[in-house]
Structure 1
C-alpha cells in the first residue's frame, strides 16, 4: 500500500465519525427540547364523571425529559370555572429536581358546587422552568365533565272552590305541583293562561326530589262554557332554565248574577201628575258570598233622586233602594234600573227594568167613581149571598121541625081545611 494512502484513509474515517456524532446530538436536542426538559402529564381524574356537588381529584405528574435536572419550577392553575372549588393552593413551586430522571406528583382535591352547570368545564394550567439563561413555559388543559339530572315538575292535582262553578262566581283555583324528576327544581313558577279577570301567576320557589307544593290562583268566571286552559311551569334544573306546558279543563255552568230585584213598591200605587212618588226596590243577594258597595240607579225621566246606596248584603239578605221623584208627566214608563256592586275583581253590574203608570190629574174623580162602583158591586154580591144563605137556613129549619112533629102537622092541615069551608 502506498504510504501516503494510509494517513488519508485515517483522516476520512475520523471525519465520518465526527459528522455522524454531530447529527445524533442535533436529533437528540430536537427531541428533548434542549438539555433541560420538563413535561406535565395528567395521570388521573377520579371519578372520570363528576356529578353536581361532588368531590373529585386531579393527579398531575411532572416528569423530567432532559439530560439535566430542571430548576426553578412553577406549576400553577391559571383558570378554573366558578362552579369548581380547589382545596389546595393553585401555585406550586419546586426549587430543583434531585436527578435528571426525577418525577414529582401533584394531587388536587376539588369539588363541584351545588349549583354547578352540567357539561364540560375546562381547567387551564401553566408549567414554567429555567432553561439556562432562558425560561420555558408550557400550557395544559384538562376537561372536567360535570353530569346532571333533569327535574320534572308536573301538575299532580286540580281543585276549585266552589267545586261546581257557575257564571259570575269568584273561583279559587289550586294546582298541586310535584317534582317527578331526578334533580332539584329551582325557581319554579306557574302561569295559567285563562281569559278571565283575575290572578294568572304564582311563584313556588324550590321543589326537592319528590317534593310537592301548591300554586294558588283566583279569577272571576264571567262567562259560561268549557275552557281548555294552558298551564306553563317554568323552572331551573341541572341543565339551566326549562319550561313545560300542560293543559287543564275548567267548566263554568250557566247562571244569572247573585244580585237581583226581589220586589218593587210604588207609593202611591197609581200616581197622578205632580204627585211625589216613592219607588222602593228591594235588592236580594241570593249568592253564597258577601257583596259590597251596592248601588242602585233608576234612569227615570222625572225630577228627583235617581240613585240609592245600599252598602253590603250578606248571602240571602235583601236591602231597600228608595228613589223619590215628582211625576210631572202622565204616561206608562219602563224605567231602566242598574245595580252596581264591587267584588274582588272590580265593579260589576246587573241590569233590569221597572214599569210604572202616571195618571192625568183630572182623572181622579173618574178613578174614585170606578173604585166606588166596584165596591158597590162587591157589596151587593156579598149581601145577595148573605140573603140566599139565610133563606136556605130557614127552609132547612122548617123541614127539620116538621119531620120531628107529624101530629101537629096533621092538625094544622085539618084547621086549614075548615077555614077554607
Structure 2
C-alpha cells in the first residue's frame, strides 16, 4: 500500500448486523412464532489494540406466539478478539409475547490485533422440536490502529562533490514521522551505477531515526534522479513508499597524473642502459591503493613498476629500466592502474624518449657543446640577475640612486 493510497480508517467502530438468512426445519401448523436479534450497543465505540469492550444483544419477539427453547450463541470469532463470556446462552421460554431479553458479551482485542474489519458470526435458534427455526447473523467490528511513516530526513555523500570515477558513500537518514513502530524497514536504490543498492534498518520507533548506508561507483557524469523505495510493516500490514533523491556527478577529475618525467641519461645513445623515472601524483582527496605504472616501450628491459599507495597530495616514483637498442624518437604509451572497491581502474598517458645514434664525429661534439652553452648561459644569466638584485638592494640601503635611473634635467 503506497503512501498516497493508504485506506483511512474511521476511529469509530462500525457495526453491521446482517441477517444471512433463516431456515425453518419444520413450519408450525398454527400461530405466528418469530424472534429476532438486534445489536443494541458497542462500548466503547472506538476499539483499539489490547482494549476491552462489550457488545449488547437484544432478543425481541416479533410474532404473536411466545417463543420457547431459545439458544443464542457465537459460532465464529476472529483470533484477534477474545470473548470472556460463555459463547452460548439458553433461554427456556419468554414470559409473554412482548418480552425482550438483553445479552451482554465482554470482549477484548489482543495486543497484536490487526487493524481493520473483524467479523463475529452469531446463531439464533428457537421453537419447539417439531418447528425449530434458525437464523444467522454477522457483526463487523473495525479495530483501529496507527500508521508508521518512515521518510528521508537527510541525504549526505562522501565525497561531498562527486566526480566521474569516484567511489561514493551515500547515507540516507530515515526518520519515522508516524505514530506506529515501523518494522522490518528496508531501503532500496534504483540506479544504474555499480554498487550496493539495498540497506536493512530493522525496527524504527515513532520519531526515531536510523541511517541507511550505500556505496557505489559514479562511472558517468550528469544529474540523476534516483528512486528510493522504503518497505516496512505497521499496524495495517506491509507498506511500500517511494521517494526521489538527486545526485550530481561532475566531469571526471584526474586524481592520478604524472607530476614529472626524468630520463637518465638525458640523451641516451643506442645500447645505453636507460632509467626512466615517472613521478605519479595523487591530486585528489582520497587515498588510492595498488598503483602500478606500465610503460609499453619497444626496448629490452622492464616495463612495469609498482608504487603501492598514495595519500592525497602525495607522489611516488615509478622507475622503468631498459636498454635503448634502437635509435629514434619514441612516443611511449603509459598506463597507470589502481584498484578501488569496485575493481581495477586505469589512466592512459604518453611520454617521449629520444635515443641518439652512437657516433664519434663532429655531430656529437656539436650537440655536447650546444648543451654546455645552454647550461652555461643559464648559469651566467642567473648570476647576473642575482648580482643586479644585490646591487639594487645595496644602493637602497645606502640611500643612493638605483643604477640606470639617473636622468638629465
TM-score with structure 1 setting the length: 0.70
Show the counterpart of 1:189.
Answer: 186
Aligned residues of 2:68 and 2:128 also touching (Cα < 8 A): no
Does residue 249 in structure 1 map to residue 246 in structure 2? yes
Does residue 309 in structure 1 map to residue 333 in structure 2? no
Deviates more, 1:319-328 or 1:339-348: 319-328
Q: In proportion to residue count, which structure has more helix?
A: 1
- SS of 1:195's equivalent in the other structure is coil
Show the counterpart of 1:208.
Answer: 205
Show the counterpart of 1:293.
Answer: 290
Match of residue 107, structure 1, among 102, 105, 108: 105
Distance apart, 1:142 and its partner CA: 0.6
Distance apart, 1:107 and its partner CA: 1.1
Show the counterpart of 1:339.
Answer: 336
Show the counterpart of 1:45.
Answer: 42
Deviates more, 1:255-264 or 1:48-57: 48-57
Give distance in 2, aligned partners of 1:167 and 1:244: 30
Give distance in 2, aligned partners of 1:125 and 1:306: 90
Distance apart, 1:116 and its partner CA: 0.8
Does residue 227 in structure 1 map to residue 228 in structure 2? no
Does residue 86 in structure 1 map to residue 74 in structure 2? no
Alignment of 1:10-409 (within 5 A): 26=29, 28=31, 31-32=32-33, 40-61=37-58, 67=66, 69-70=68-69, 73=71, 75-78=73-76, 80-82=77-79, 84-88=80-84, 91-92=87-88, 94=90, 96=92, 103=101, 105-114=103-112, 116-118=114-116, 120-127=117-124, 131-132=128-129, 137-361=134-358, 363=359, 365-366=361-362, 368-374=364-370
Distance apart, 1:307 and its partner CA: 1.9
Distance apart, 1:99 and its partner CA: 5.4
- SS of 1:294's equivalent in the other structure is strand
Q: Structure 1: 5+ residue runs without aligned partners?
A: 1-24, 386-421
- SS of 1:216's equivalent in the other structure is strand
- SS of 2:192's equivalent in the other structure is coil
- SS of 2:366's equivalent in the other structure is helix
- SS of 1:369's equivalent in the other structure is helix
Residues 150 and 357 of structure 1: CA distance in aligned 2, closer, same or farther (over 3 Å): same
Map Cα deviations across residues 116-156 of structure 1 (whole Å, 9 max, x no partner).
132x2211133456843686554221111234454433322
Give distance in 1, aligned partners of 2:201 and 2:351: 51
- SS of 1:116's equivalent in the other structure is coil
Residues 329 and 105 of structure 1: CA distance in aligned 2, closer, same or farther (over 3 Å): same
TM-score with structure 2 setting the length: 0.71
Aligned residues of 1:69 and 1:102 also touching (Cα < 8 A): no
Deviates more, 1:269-278 or 1:256-265: 269-278
Distance apart, 1:111 and its partner CA: 0.8
Give distance in 1, aligned partners of 2:161 and 2:353: 39
Give distance in 2, aligned partners of 1:217 and 1:238: 28
Aligned residues of 2:83 and 2:105 also touching (Cα < 8 A): no
State the Cα RMSD in Å: 3.6
Give distance in 2, aligned partners of 1:381 and 1:39: 123
Distance apart, 1:70 and its partner CA: 1.8
- SS of 1:270's equivalent in the other structure is coil
Larger radius of gyration: 1
Give distance in 1, aligned partners of 2:45 and 2:115: 17
Distance apart, 1:95 and its partner CA: 8.2
